[in-house]
């Protein structure tokens, strides 16, 4: 099964973070913001033009660029 990206979720869908396909510096920044392996996240909404997107993780909401979200791999909760 191919990994699914966080950006591929529909509004209201959830998934558990299973890994990253990002450069080390960007991956570290997302880890520091709470996007760690095994964390449950829900896609809340997209901006009017589709970028950025807003996710809820660990009880708070976070905006991510679509390019960043495409490098965050998820699996079914």
Q: At residue 9, what are phi and psi to the nearest 5 degrees?
A: -70, 150
Span 3-20, pLDDT tens digits: 799 999 999 999 999 999
Looking at residue 2, its pLDDT comes to 66
Assign domain 4-75 to a CATH class.
mainly beta
Span 19-60, pLDDT tens digits: 999 999 999 999 999 999 999 999 999 999 889 999 999 999
Residue 70: closest CA among 43, 40, 33: 43
Looking at residue 5, its pLDDT comes to 93
The Cβ of residue 9 has, within 10 Å, a number of other Cβ atoms equal to: 18
Domain boundaries, the chain: 4-75
Looking at residue 1, its pLDDT comes to 55
User: Using CA atoms, how far apart are residues 22 and 27, in angstroms rounded to an integer?
Assistant: 6
């Amino acid at each position: 099964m191919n990994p699914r990206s966080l950006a591929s979720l529909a509004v209201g869908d959830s998934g558990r973070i299973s890994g990253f396909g990002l450069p080390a510096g960007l991956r570290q920044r997302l880890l520091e913001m709470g996007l760690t392996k095994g964390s449950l996240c829900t896609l809340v909404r997209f901006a009017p033009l589709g970028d950025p997107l807003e996710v809820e993780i660990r009880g708070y909401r976070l905006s991510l660029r679509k390019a960043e979200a495409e490098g965050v791999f998820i699996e079914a909760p």
